[in-house]
Structure 1
Amino acid sequence: MNRDPVTIVVVDDASEVRLLVKTRLRMSGLLRVVGEGADGAQAVALAREHQPALMLLDVSMPGMDGLAALPRVLEVSPSTRVVLYSGFEEQGLAGEAQRLGAAAFIEKSSPIDSLSDRLLDVLAPDERPEPAGGQGAPLASGGPHGVPAVDQQVLDDHVERFREVFEEAAIGMATLTLTGRLVRGNRALAALLRRPVTELTGLFYGQFTDGRGEQVTAALEEIRRRPVDIVQLEHGLAGAADDRRVRAILAPVRDSLGRVLYLFLQVQDVTAERAAVEQLRKSEERFRLLVEAVEDYAIFMLDPTGHVVSWNSGAQRSKGYTDEEIIGQHFRVFYPPEAQARRHPEHELELALRDGHYEEEGWRVRKDGSRFWANVLITAVFNEVGEHIGFAKVTRDNSERRRLEQEREHAVQALASTNAELESANARLEQVAQDQAQFLAVTAHELRTPVGVLGGSAETLTRHGGDLTDEERADLLEAMETSSRRLRRLLADLLTASRLQASSLEIHPAPISVSDIVAEAVTTVSRTTSDAEILVETPADLVVYGDRDRLGQAVDNLLANALRHGTPPVRITARRGSGRVEIRVSDHGSGVTAEAQPRLFKRFATGRSSGGSGLGLFIVRELARVHGGEAFYEQGSPQQPSGAFVISLPSGDGPSDPHPGDPPGTG
């Protein structure tokens, strides 16, 4: 039996996870970490360099994911046993990993205490190291991740609720690697693609499209090239017997540095919607043909003075006169009294003689006195020697056409109104779906790592603190502090945003010193950012009327935003002007691009280079509005190129409500 620790390489894009795993593997005394990496390309390079006995490989990573890296690792180091390590449920992923050559599949939700044993289980008995005296002692276990049972129940409940939302969604949902391979799909997606859920894992989504995957490949390339929030495409389904059409939305999920970790996919069947559009087009085409087919002509001759000299059956059918009744009468009898009174019939003949012909549409009168809408063409007729001998008159009864056109116009207006309402409803539904996708992606990513690291690190320090080196203990404590801050800020932002959205946020206004609010905010962010450089200029006598905690949260969010996205030092100033108090936060960076400015204060708007919930500036603006103020971004100048974020509030020591006797409301 081997007495030397087994060599292993750890590859995971989350540094906190790598730290926790390395520490626990070292404490086992049976495994020695000889290298660590953050993506699939580094995994291949480390395998080539170290030829390790084991490799613990994350599935979803930027650049090259674990599924893509696995065959390449085995190609450069055939003796290495690769174990896939993923935060996703197995759901067929283990089978795909085994097909690609993995020795095992371990979920990150498995107890950290059992990780060493599960890794060693993939080795042959004679390859496993013999524990030295005092080393490799079993680590005490609690719940999964080693967290206390009560805390584990809370974590399990949260994970279960997230999984229920994912699985029970009415539209297809999935997570994809950056190369477009399905990692996990829900039942709705499986039903749409007509494949069992277990068979979807590891398949390239493009193979389900009717264009050999070119659309999906182009969408993946766009996500890699540009910091887009979503990419939308519409396609048919490959191999489907019917003509189904689906709309697919790809939303990249990014880490705290803005790098894309994996993709969130939504797929919705839009076949009925497309069929309705096509049916409308065909209906309009049939309507056009019907209108063009309605014909009714009256053809007769007039003498040079306008008296009827000939009559055809079409004229009799159209106007109701027999030839005996009408021949010899002036054609003015076909016109309404008002047209006769202004001598319009005679004027038509004058124009026809002058120009060779005259054409118009207007009301005409039948024998029974009823009116019809007619198209009239009068042509001057000359004999072979050029003498004017009369007029040829063609009248087409367009009453039916006019009625149809009016009905069509009304129908088109109604359809346009209906289409506008449908488009508006679709836009709202799409926005809700995108917000839900973004919310699920952001929340899942923001919670997964800090909760796991916090629980694992706390259990490690509690039960094995004496076995840790000073450096390991300090690193774990720092990781716990970082994760705790992330969770507290995310929880506060989510609760505040939810109450603002539901108009249920309570405020307790009172006169507040602006300098006190600023000082507390500076103290708060200084605790979480040790190297923060903040310059403060706030007069001691500035007072606003508002809720101290809510305004403090708004200022705190502005400072945190400047420290995360800007360039130090950060400057915060306050001043009074025109009955308002303005709190201005700026830094020495290059400012916000014109492209990003329109969505600065929208929900879930995140920057390219930093993580976060995307709720900070949204909360700042809504809290300012609750207090009768506003928040906005002020464009930079040559003296201050970075620009500034400004909270503008009513000044004074009392409410700005025009009815001060009323009790303060809620936001």
Structure 2
Amino acid sequence: MPDSPTIVVVDDAPEVRLLVKTQLRLSGRLEVVGEGADGYAAVELARAHRPALMLLDVSMPGRDGLAALPLVLDASPTTRVVMFSGFDQAGLADHTRRLGASAFVQKSVPIEQLVDQLVAISAPPGGQPDDAIGGHPVEPATEQVDRSHGHPELDPVLAEHLERFREIFDDAAIGMATMTLDGRVVRVNRHLAGLLGDDADALIGTSYADLAADPAPVADALQSLRDGGSAVRLEHGLADEHGRRFAATLSAVLDAQDRPLYFLLQAQDVTEQRAAEAELHETEQRFRLLVEAVQDYAIFMLDPEGRVASWNAGAQRLKGYTADDIVGRSFRVFYPPDKQAERHPEHELAIARREGRYEEEGWRVRKDGTRFWAHVLITAVHDADGVLVGFAKVTRDSTERRRILELQQQANERLRRSAAEQAEFLAVTAHELRSPVGVLAATAETLAQHHERLTVREREDLAEGMRRTADQLRRLLDDLLTASRADARSLGLHPEPLRLEEQLRAVVSAARGGHPGAEVLLDVEEGLVVQADPGRLAQMVDNLVGNALTHGRSPVVVSARADGDSAVIAVRDSGPGVPAEVRDRLFERFATTGGTGLGLYIVRALAEAHGGQASYQVEDQSFVLRLPRERA
């Protein structure tokens, strides 16, 4: 295509690059001269080829499209850059226009329309104008999805679910935003925009770290996520005149290969809460000093050496000593042996002597040897000449209060985890569905319309891509449906006697076909029969084999042996095994990264529904499935 305009395609997903390149070649109207997977490659390709056009993804690892865009234009000022994104925030398109982009196109646009738009945008001055394609107007840098009609190229049911996810995101009672891998905001809900006191579109493209009074902790949290860390929770001040504080949770949304696609932010304004906590602390302190005579408090005097000089009724009730028992003895007797050995009582008096007071919470010991959680206040007492005459000591039993606070904290943590899991689940599910369905539809369309014009290699690559994508969708839908039924305890199993060798051979064969080049071996004791639902058995073993191929290394060995009344199926890969820190959570929902995080949770739920067990065996680093055995 010597007379065709040149174009460079930059996207971190190889399937997307393949599809776009193929369609561009078939069109015969644009010549692809290079491709890349991140913003660094975009800049180098622009400098090397100076293409007429560049299709640039917004969110990519290393350097995202927003950061790369100005650098691409510096390297090749004549290149027209079209931003390519799965995000549909209107403000994002406007922001890329201000950075110099010629157009903004969503990834949900049909592939044929994408080619038409790229051709129109590449038209030289005096040729076809940028704002018309075949007589139909186009708005570069503002192409948006029709929110009332969803995505026309998607199944209506899927489009409805995606729209509901947007509504949940936009109407959430906490602040939420999605960010590129460089930490720039690309979508923000109404609640967060209100907390930040700005218009949602005005926040697009803003670095979240720049909103913090101290950007360093936010930058460190983002880097931790880029390095593969789990969700990061932090509290930070805002760079505004009100001195407000945010409690934020940052997490990465991953693709099926455990690569971060973008970051999800959840934030709450805790300014008033922190002020209330500080005020409550001050009020409690004043209250304690005013009720010295109340029997619910142990209030007594110490001499300058720490010996008990006076004793009240509250002290006797709380600690069990009478005045005759304790007056004249060191107050060290109230402390556990380890604190006495550390000379902690003397340390308290030294601080009170130096600073005027000392306050803490900790374990104390009664006369009968039982312990209680105490809130302690020690105040230095001076005479009119400023000479230290002793210490006033106020002790309160806070055991019940501590227990209630611990229970409240545990309940709050469970609620927070549940909310975070559901938010992450919605985000991951929406992404997991959108990308494969879009690629599958576009690839099928390409094969249907241009089968004869495609090369053999292109047809094979596109067909293999469709197979992998369809398998990904099948797994996702199976996992979602099974997890839902497991939670509702309505799996509806239909167990029957099954020859284990035949069942496992079918699973292993499918795994080999789905992972070309992977070595999956089978070692089954002859004649083994189990009592199981055939479909659910295949699903359990398929999940374990898929987990081994995804997170471990080939070869993977699937073995089965009889053990009393059970048949033991083991799946072992050749990788380093599961890290010790995550073994206890392996079979929990969302405990693993990649996909929906439901695979191992489903295996255990199905195994227990069959009257069996699923576990991880550290000795040989294998996942073990134990099912009831059918004896001859």
User: What TM-score results when the alignment is normalised by the length of structure 1?
Assistant: 0.74
Q: Which amino acid aligns with 2:504?
A: V
CA distance in structure 1 between the partners assigned to 2:252 and 2:205 by the alignment? 18
CA distance in structure 2 between the partners assigned to 1:363 and 1:278 by the alignment? 31
Q: Which amino acid aligns with 1:106?
A: V
The aligned runs of 1:503-518 (5 Å cut-off) are 503-518=489-504
SS, match of residue 473 in structure 1: helix
CA distance in structure 2 between the partners assigned to 1:467 and 1:358 by the alignment? 98
The answer on 1:10 being equivalent to 2:36 is no
1:652 alignment counterpart: 630
The aligned runs of 1:112-191 (5 Å cut-off) are 112-123=111-122, 125-126=124-125, 151-191=154-194
1:161 positional shift: 1.9
Q: Deviations over 1:49-71 (max 9, x none)?
A: 00101111000000000000001
The answer on 1:96 being equivalent to 2:95 is yes
Contact 1:56–1:84 (8 Å) recurs in 2: yes
1:435 positional shift: 0.8
Match of residue 508, structure 2, among 509, 517, 522: 522
The answer on 1:40 being equivalent to 2:39 is yes
The aligned runs of 1:230-269 (5 Å cut-off) are 230-241=231-242, 244-269=244-269
CA distance in structure 2 between the partners assigned to 1:78 and 1:152 by the alignment? 41
The answer on 1:284 being equivalent to 2:262 is no
Q: Which amino acid aligns with 1:627?
A: H
Contact 1:65–1:179 (8 Å) recurs in 2: yes
CA distance in structure 1 between the partners assigned to 2:488 and 2:191 by the alignment? 30
1:176 positional shift: 0.7
The aligned runs of 1:324-343 (5 Å cut-off) are none
2:604 alignment counterpart: 621
Q: CA RMSD in A?
A: 3.3
Q: Which amino acid aligns with 1:195?
A: D
CA distance in structure 2 between the partners assigned to 1:223 and 1:119 by the alignment? 34
1:579 positional shift: 2.8
1:456 positional shift: 0.4
Q: Give the count of matched residue pairs.
A: 538
The answer on 1:438 being equivalent to 2:424 is yes
1:478 alignment counterpart: 464
1:276 positional shift: 4.4
1:535 positional shift: 2.2
Q: 1:275 to 1:649 in 2, by over 3 A?
A: farther
SS, match of residue 52 in structure 1: coil
SS, match of residue 465 in structure 2: helix
Q: Identity of paired residues, percent?
A: 50
Q: Which amino acid aligns with 1:234?
A: E
2:407 alignment counterpart: 421
CA distance in structure 2 between the partners assigned to 1:378 and 1:518 by the alignment? 79
Contact 2:89–2:186 (8 Å) recurs in 1: no
The answer on 1:192 being equivalent to 2:170 is no
CA distance in structure 1 between the partners assigned to 2:109 and 2:551 by the alignment? 36
The answer on 1:221 being equivalent to 2:220 is no
1:286 positional shift: 1.6
CA distance in structure 1 between the partners assigned to 2:100 and 2:248 by the alignment? 31
Q: Which amino acid aligns with 2:596?
A: S
Q: 1:374 to 1:579 in 2, by over 3 A?
A: closer
CA distance in structure 1 between the partners assigned to 2:465 and 2:553 by the alignment? 24
Please, which runs of 5 or more residues in structure 2 have no aligned partner? 136-144, 296-306, 315-320, 329-375, 378-393
Q: 1:378 to 1:648 in 2, by over 3 A?
A: closer
1:11 positional shift: 0.4
Q: Which amino acid aligns with 2:430?
A: A
User: What TM-score results when the alignment is normalised by the length of structure 2?
Assistant: 0.78
CA distance in structure 2 between the partners assigned to 1:421 and 1:591 by the alignment? 36
Q: Deviations over 1:75-125 (max 9, x none)?
A: 111111111111100420111111111111111122322223322333455
Q: Deviations over 1:389-419 (max 9, x none)?
A: xxxxxxxxxxxxxxx99x9957x34532432
Contact 2:154–2:437 (8 Å) recurs in 1: no
Match of residue 528, structure 2, among 522, 529, 542: 542
Contact 2:56–2:83 (8 Å) recurs in 1: yes
1:649 positional shift: 2.2
1:68 alignment counterpart: 67
SS, match of residue 71 in structure 2: helix
Contact 1:174–1:183 (8 Å) recurs in 2: yes
The answer on 1:206 being equivalent to 2:184 is no
The aligned runs of 1:455-604 (5 Å cut-off) are 455-604=441-590
Contact 1:510–1:653 (8 Å) recurs in 2: no
Q: Which amino acid aligns with 2:488?
A: A
SS, match of residue 291 in structure 2: helix
1:529 positional shift: 2.4
Contact 2:120–2:128 (8 Å) recurs in 1: no
CA distance in structure 1 between the partners assigned to 2:252 and 2:528 by the alignment? 44
CA distance in structure 2 between the partners assigned to 1:148 and 1:63 by the alignment? 30
Q: Deviations over 1:140-163 (max 9, x none)?
A: xxxx99x99685433422321221
Q: Which amino acid aligns with 1:455?
A: A
Contact 2:151–2:159 (8 Å) recurs in 1: no
Match of residue 632, structure 1, among 605, 615, 625: 615
Q: 1:358 to 1:601 in 2, by over 3 A?
A: closer
1:230 positional shift: 0.5
Q: 1:57 to 1:292 in 2, by over 3 A?
A: same
1:264 positional shift: 1.0
SS, match of residue 596 in structure 1: helix
Question: Which structure has the larger Rg?
Answer: 1
1:237 positional shift: 2.5
The aligned runs of 1:302-381 (5 Å cut-off) are 361=311
Q: Which amino acid aligns with 1:518?
A: L
Q: 1:629 to 1:77 in 2, by over 3 A?
A: same
Q: Which amino acid aligns with 2:286?
A: R
Contact 1:545–1:653 (8 Å) recurs in 2: no
1:424 positional shift: 1.5
1:29 positional shift: 1.7
Q: 1:569 to 1:218 in 2, by over 3 A?
A: closer
Contact 1:634–1:646 (8 Å) recurs in 2: yes
CA distance in structure 1 between the partners assigned to 2:519 and 2:451 by the alignment? 34
- Between 468-477 and 592-601, report the one with greater CA deviation: 592-601
Please, which runs of 5 or more residues in structure 1 have no aligned partner? 131-135, 139-143, 296-356, 365-372, 380-403, 655-667
1:331 alignment counterpart: none
Q: 1:432 to 1:358 in 2, by over 3 A?
A: closer
CA distance in structure 1 between the partners assigned to 2:616 and 2:262 by the alignment? 32
Contact 2:311–2:327 (8 Å) recurs in 1: no
CA distance in structure 1 between the partners assigned to 2:151 and 2:292 by the alignment? 80
Q: 1:174 to 1:152 in 2, by over 3 A?
A: same
Q: 1:415 to 1:514 in 2, by over 3 A?
A: same
